[in-house]
Structure 1
Amino acid sequence: MKLKYTALLSTCFLLASLSISQVQAEDDLAQESDPIDNPDQLQSLPLLQSLRNIDTEYQLQAPYVQELNNRYKVRTLFVESKDLPMVDIQLTFNAGSARDEEIQKGLFGLSSMAAKLIREGTDRYTAQEVADVFDQTGAHFSAQAYRDMFIVRLRVLSDPDKLEPALAMMLEILKHASFQKQSISLTVSNTNVGQKQLQENPSRLRDIRFYRTVYGTHPYAYPVTGTIGGTRSVTPEHLKKFRDQFLVAQNMNIAITGNLTSKEAQKLSERIAGILKQGSSAQRLPYAELKNDIEVVHIPYKSSQAHVIFGHIGPSRSTPDKLALDVANKMFGGNGFNAVLMQELRIKRGYTYGAYSSMSFTQAPGVFSFSYSTRQDQLLDSIQVAHQALVNFVNQPIDQKRMKVTKAGMLRAFPNHYNNNATINAQLGSIGFYGEPQDYLRTYPERLKNISTQDVENAVRKHWHPDRLTVIVVSQKLDKEALKAALKQNLPTVNDSQNTGTAP
């Protein structure tokens, strides 16, 4: 089999015109064929010809996701995978940085600090003893805080002699992490150094100010890593309270992928949910308000480059328009050189090396934004061009050719979301956390196929607002009022809106 596989690869390198998708299909074909003696390139040609008959739908086949009936009522999703003798476990808690101030006002960075310190020992085990258990079992343990989520991951061999001690240590950490004062001091010091370095990073300064300005007093307003004042205020008692309130069974979902049967996976999930403190689910996050006007914020900064971000509050993860907005975002600024922003700012005018848009879909309303950097002398012109590109995208009919290319690219890229056990399990964690159906991965291609230009037009006209943007500019100087007036001139008049069939 190896000899035949080598012959096929050699032929692929010779045939420069062979597409990436054909190479992937060839790899599957080589693995399924019988081994041959003394292979050469000519013997591979008939196999290459057979690539024309490869079923593209088969290549897009998503894993079968099982929803297990956990007796503790903790949502558990499972994918059985026998390819490797490994198990991936992800516990996703509703305990991201948005929960920091629920422990005490001003403790920005609390969840991030808990993630960094959770493996630094318990009342029974030192940090070294914790590390030794994971090292001796060959397990990889990690914890990470995000805005919405606190994620704990364990990857370990499915052999019970390895799985059992690693799992036991993970549960010991989650229940009894001691958060020693000396560990906190070291983490605070490192965090403060990192935050001071932000002063030398204009794009990060821009992004932090953007979230602060757009969200105001909302829990999403502050960086996940927190603030200098917030992290300095954290004590072991705060971290233990965070652990006991949020890292509990009824505030998590479980994702398992690997070399287990569904019965074994269910038993594993119930062991996890049963050992952890039960607790209760976190409360609903407050709503975030969309601003009523264009707002321009200037951050003075001496640099040859100016940095710009536009954006506003968008919908939450639960919006039925999510997939249509994903398509719109790819078309506008998330699809490389074919995207509108890149065409307008780089290809046509050479204002920037790259301009990109993004949408965050979170528990509370997320943000739609787009950003780039440019020379100081091109700043004002580039801002007007970028804003006008958004105005036109929202108010004019969707380019059907661009949309077709974009959807095709999204479909080709989608298997990257489940191309190994780790990515599968990450997807299961997200599906479980945001309440998506268990067949979310399998139905995605059909749902994407059914998105029409009308769906995209309706979604952007409902959720994207060129007249309600926050614009953060990091540059040497800026006349904010003049820029705001210029942006308002880009907006269509009532008559223009009526002519295009859209609301003003």
Structure 2
Amino acid sequence: MKTIATISILSLAWLSQSALAQTTTTPSTIAQTNPHQLHIQSWHLKNGAKVLLVERHALPIVDINVAFDAGSRRDDAQKIGVANFAGSLMDMGAGKWNEEDIRRLSSDWAVTVSSFSDTEQAGIRIRSLSQPQTLQDALKLGQTILSRPTYPQTVLTREQDRAVLGWKQNQTDPQFLSSQAMTRLNYPQHPYGYWAQENEASIRAIKRQDLIDFHHRYFRPSTAVVSIVGDINRSQAQKIATELLADLPQQKLKLPNIAAVPLHKGQTTHIHHPASQTHLDLSLPVISRDDVDYFALLIGNYTLGAGGFDSLLMKELRDNRGFTYGAYSHFNPMAQKGTFSIGLSTQAANAPEALKVTKQVLADYIAQGPTEAQLQQAKNNIIGGFPMRFDTNNKLLGWLSTIGFYQLPLDYLDTYPQKVQALTTEQIRDAWQRRLKVEDLNVVTVGQSLKQ
């Protein structure tokens, strides 16, 4: 079934347009159109792939993102790191081309094709002029990289050497050590925490056949989301999506759901480090992409720690106390519960007091919530800055892929400003009081020994 949503440019800042390929389509809803609206088109191919398109004809450019449910959350617990290598090395040898051939062809054809891998997704990105021959060359290269990566042993060995070197260097970085330790506290056995279990032995244990097997299992059209933004129409988008996925295994794959995140809360870890600064992290898995409190938590966070110099954490820890150059709080929504985090660095001697003050600022905010003036400032900033979040094709593409991958409604961007505007201080306070308790947060400190 095909669905079309309209997004008003005036009311949106995250505009995403998507057209997807399908054989038979019947629009279920078509919003009224006017010259100031853009359309997200979405449908499914016969092989199960989801396609989203936004037509933008101002520039002769096409941007494409093909994402699969093949991120590191799909790793085997006994073979951590395979997903990352399988996704990220696809563009380093494919079909009859080695990595130098791929670079040369990209340069000769004036196109960009690259592979990627993260926690939840893996796939390829393509940027090309919409001129037919150039676009066809880009699709040929993208299809080959996507469906026939060769994973040369020399490339794998080299990238393993780089990964080991990077891992060793990171063992001296306070921020990395803190992030790694916090991930182990938040996700000790969960797939979201696999990356924090990596070490030299696990990196070296990955074999070329592991990458081939992972690619064959997880890179299937039935789990694909093809997002397209640019100077093409729906029929062209249909052809592009079909062509890119044509040589992958077509059998539909039903993947198990990612497990819910069990909470491990109230833990504290200190890592000794000789640096003069101590890095402080407070965190807990809290928010998912489909969370009922999504807007109350995210918009409320602007006042606490996402509003830069206007935030409560910055005012108290930097302006009033002089403990740090910067303090922040952040939500990272994922398919299952992603983290709420607070972070800062301070002189080692100030670390105990800075931690105490940070907890008190959070406790006060949970108890009181934002004032009417603070909430209005957050709304003005978020709604007023909306257009800057997708003022390029690339930004639009990112939001389009997010809508498709997390199965968000096609009017997600259209209704976003309205949902922000509708929030009240009471709703934000209620959500924060239900979802966050200071004593539940895990705490990691990296630096010299804390003197209480």
Q: Same fold (TM over 0.5)?
A: yes
The answer to which of 116-125 and 88-97 deviates more is 116-125
Give, in whole Å, the separation in 1 of the partners of 2:450 and 2:158.
Answer: 40
Aligned residues of 2:90 and 2:146 also touching (Cα < 8 A):
yes
Any conservation in 1 of the 2:303–2:378 contact (CA below 8 Å)? yes
Between the aligned partners of 1:111 and 1:397, the Cα distance in structure 2 is 41
Answer whether contact 2:48 2:221 (CA < 8 A) is retained.
no
Deviation digits for residues 348-371 of structure 1 (CA, Å, limit 9, x no counterpart): 111100001111111121111101
Q: Residues 407 and 449 of structure 1 are in contact (CA less than 8 Å); yes or no, is this contact kept in structure 2?
A: yes
Q: How does 1:285-296 map to 2 (within 5 A)?
A: 285-292=258-265, 294-296=266-268
Which is further off, 266-275 or 354-363? 266-275
The residue aligned with 2:422 is 450
Residue of structure 2 equivalent to 1:280: 253
Question: Identity of paired residues, percent?
Answer: 27
The residue identity in structure 1 corresponding to 2:81 is G
CA contact (8 A) 2:14 2:399 kept: no
Distance 1:161 1:197, change over 3 A: same
Change (3 A) 1:56 1:265: closer
Name which of 298, 301, 315 aligns with 1:343: 315
2:69 is matched by which residue type in structure 1?
A: N
Q: 1:263 to 1:225 in 2, by over 3 A?
A: farther
1:82 aligns to 2:57 (yes or no): yes
Judged with a 3 Å threshold, the aligned counterparts in structure 2 of structure 1 residues 462 and 360 are, in CA distance, closer, same or farther, namely same
| 1:399 and 2:371 correspond | yes
Pairs within 5 Å for 1:180-191: 180-191=152-163
CA contact (8 A) 2:13 2:390 kept: no
Kindly state the Cα deviation for residue 95 of structure 1 after the two structures are TM-superposed.
1.2
Q: Give the Å deviation of 1:416.
A: 2.0
Partner of 1:362: 334
Task: Return the alpha-carbon distance in structure 2 between the equivalents of residues 61 and 236 of structure 1.
Answer: 40
Counterpart of 2:18 in structure 1 is none
Instruction: Tell me the distance in 2 between the aligned counterparts of 1:298 and 1:224.
Output: 16
Higher helix share: 1
Q: Could you tell me which amino acid in structure 1 is paired with residue 346 of structure 2?
A: T
How many residues are paired up?
Answer: 422
- Counterpart CA distance in 2 for 1:348 and 1:76 is 51
Residues 58-95 of structure 1: CA deviation (Å, up to 9, x unaligned): 78594421113433332111000111111111011111
Of residues 66-75 and 307-316 in structure 1, the stretch that sits farther from structure 2 once superposed is 66-75
Separation of aligned partners in 1, 2:341 and 2:210: 34
1:413 to 385, 388, 391: 385
Segment of structure 1 superposing worse, 105-114 or 320-329: 105-114
Which amino acid letter does the alignment assign opposite residue 260 of structure 2? Y
Where do 5+ consecutive residues of structure 1 fail to align? 1-54, 483-504
User: What CA distance in whole angstroms lies between the structure 1 residues aligned with 2:181 and 2:287?
Assistant: 20
Q: Which one-letter code corresponds to 2:257 in the other structure? A: R
246-255 vs 57-66, which moves further: 57-66
The answer (yes or no) to whether the contact 2:142–2:244 under 8 Å persists in 1 is no
Work out the CA distance in 2 between the residues paired with 1:441 and 1:56. Answer: 10
**Letter in structure 1 aligned against 2:432:** V
Are 2:109 and 1:137 equivalent residues in the alignment? yes
Q: What SS does the aligned partner of 2:321 have?
A: coil
8 Å contact 1:112–1:224 — kept in the other structure?
no
Aligned CA distance change for structure 1 residues 115 and 226 (closer, same or farther; 3 Å) = farther
Contact 1:309 1:372 in 2 (8 A): yes
Residues in 2 aligned to 1:337 and 1:258: alpha-carbon distance in whole angstroms: 37
* Structure possessing the higher relative contact order (Cα contacts under 8 Å, 6 or more residues apart): 2
Structure 1 letter corresponding to 2:108: Q
Rg (Cα) greater in structure:
1
Please tell me the residue identity of whatever aligns with 1:99.
R
Equivalence map 1:76-155=2 (5 Å): 76-101=51-76, 105-155=77-127
Check conservation: 1:88, 1:421, Cα contact below 8 A. yes
Q: CA deviation at 1:123?
A: 4.5
Distance 2:232 2:309 in 1: 43
Partners of 1:146 and 1:473 in 2: how far apart? Answer: 26
Shift of 1:209: 0.6
Hey, what does 1:160 align to over in structure 2?
132
The residue type equivalent to 1:427 in the other structure is W
CA RMSD of aligned residues (A): 2.0
Q: Secondary structure at the match of 1:282?
A: coil
Whichever residue aligns with residue 326 of structure 2, its letter is G
Partners of 2:14 and 2:396 within 8 A in 1 = no
> What's the counterpart of residue 477 of structure 1?
449
2:29 aligned residue:
none
1:208 paired with 2:183, answer no
Kindly indicate whether residue 433 of structure 2 is the aligned counterpart of residue 461 of structure 1. Answer: yes
Closer/same/farther in 2, CA of residues 245 and 131 from structure 1, 3 Å limit: same
Distance 2:327 2:13 in 1: 30
Q: Distance in 1 between matches of 2:14 and 2:442?
A: 41
State the partner residue of 1:64: 39
1:43-58 maps to which residues of 2 (within 5 A)? Answer: 57=10
Question: Following TM superposition, by how much is the alpha carbon of 1:97 offset from its aligned partner in structure 2, in angstroms?
Answer: 1.2
Distance 2:177 2:360 in 1: 25
Q: Deviations over 1:417-460 (max 9, x none)?
A: 21011111111011100111112122211121111212211221
Residues 389-398 or 178-187, more deviating: 389-398
Q: How does 1:307-326 map to 2 (within 5 A)?
A: 307-326=279-298
Q: Classify 1:468/1:197 alpha carbon distance in 2 versus 1 (closer, same or farther; 3 Å).
A: same
In the aligned structure 1, how far is the partner of 2:233 from the partner of 2:105?
A: 25
Deviations 1:456-477 (A, max 9, x none): 1122112212121110011211
Q: Is the 8 A contact 1:71 1:270 kept in 2?
A: no
Match of 1:199 in 2: 171
CA 1:418–1:411 in 2, change beyond 3 Å: closer, same or farther?
same
Q: Which has the higher strand share?
A: 2
